[in-house]
Amino acid sequence: MALRVLAFVMLALSTAAAAPKKRWETLPLPPAMPAATTSGQVDVNGASIYYAIYGKADAARPPVVLLHGGLGNSDHFGFQMPALVDKFQVIVIDSRGQGRSTLTKAKLSYHAMAGDVVAVLDKLEVKKAAFVGWSDGGAIALDLAIHNPDRVAKLFIVGTNYDSKGSKPRGGSSTPTFKLYSAKCKADHQKLSSKPKSYNEVIDALLPVWRNPAGFTKAQLKQIQAPSMITLGAYDEIILTDQIKEMGTLIPKGQSLIFKDASHFVMWQDPESFNKALVEFLK
């Protein structure tokens, strides 16, 4: 009897160990970006901000600007580019200190990084654009919609809260998916940055932004006039679903969308559903 019980337990354990992970527990890495039409750097108060352009300008549609998540870079939109490049001109930007952009001693903030985006658009003579912002990129896009509303045609926000009440208790960033993401970001930084050993310096610059974000007020969200889609993965590790839904109602032309079976990394975990919603909104 004891041997049969032991065999049953061992079988159960082996079956559990072999069970496939749920999609929101995985982190498929994005494919390489296509070749850019052109790329360059813009000097902004001593920082060199990288951008790349894909496709030609279309008088009938504003370009789409992609803003990546914290510690990441514009190459992280590799899953999205095939769905966008045949329909829109796309501009990608590496946030200050991240990817191919450099860091200065100036204090980082979402507002400062939004200023970098404006500087790039000015350099490219782009008056207005649709913005797709993931996580930190979403906060930058919200800042643009609030402080530079004339530059924003549409907003598609992914995994971004508007104040600290929208964050889950700490610990989400210690999950296996976030650890894999951090490893990916570090490897990318070492490959792309002009200072490949400065990764920890960038983390130190961003930590105060994450721990004490200035955030946005409900009154500010109510002032956003651009059509806005606020989205989240249902299993997001760090953002509360209720605040995403609230943002969709606070913004006058806003709506919210929750992706099933995905986490903070929905763009990588379920690119098919994500891209379908994104393109439909941007049209």
Counting residues of the chain whose pLDDT is more than 90, the rounded percentage is 87
Q: What is the pLDDT of residue 214?
A: 73
Residue 8 lies in a domain: no
Assigned domain for 12 exists = no
The answer to whether residue 241 scores a pLDDT higher than 70 is yes
User: Which runs of E-coded beta strand occur in the chain?
Assistant: 38-44, 47-54, 64-67, 90-93, 129-134, 152-158, 228-233, 254-259
For residue 78, tell me if it sits in a domain.
Answer: yes
The CATH number for 168's domain is 3.40.50.1820
Domain that holds residue 272: 34-282
**Which pLDDT score is estimated for 18?**
54
Instruction: Give CA separation, 138 vs 5, 32, 83, 131, in Å.
Output: 53, 22, 20, 9
Range 205-216 average pLDDT: 88
* Residue 28 forms part of a structural domain: no
163-176 pLDDT, tens per residue?
988 988 766 678 99
Per residue in 179-191, pLDDT tens? 999 999 999 999 9
Position 117 in a domain: yes
Go through the chain and tell me how many residues it has. 283
Q: Would you place residue 23 in the very low, low, confident or very high pLDDT band (cuts 50, 70, 90)?
A: very high
Separation CA 201–CA 25 (nearest Å): 29
Query: Which of 106-120, 158-172, 212-226 shows the lowest mean pLDDT across its residues?
Result: 158-172
For position 212, what pLDDT does the model report? Answer: 77
Q: What pLDDT is recorded for position 6?
A: 43
Q: Which pLDDT score, from 0 to 100, does residue 17 have? A: 53
Is 195 part of any domain? yes
Per-residue pLDDT at 14 exceeds 90 = no
Number of domains in the chain: 1
Residue 76 has what DSSP assignment? Answer: G
Average pLDDT over residues 98-106: 97
Q: Model confidence at 98, in pLDDT bands (50, 70, 90)?
A: very high
188 close to 72: Cβ distance less than 8 angstroms: yes
Q: What percentage of the chain reaches a pLDDT higher than 70?
A: 92
Q: Which pLDDT band, with edges at 50, 70 and 90, does 20 fall under?
A: confident
Residue 258 has, within 13 A of its CA and on its CB side, a CA count of: 14
Average pLDDT for the chain: 93
In this prediction, residues 1-30 reach a mean pLDDT of 64
| pLDDT at 10 (0 to 100) | 46
In a domain? residue 121:
yes
- Of the candidate ranges 18-32, 41-55, 218-232, the one whose mean pLDDT is the lowest: 18-32
Which residues are bridge partners to 58 per DSSP?
61
The answer to the question of residue 25 being in a domain is no
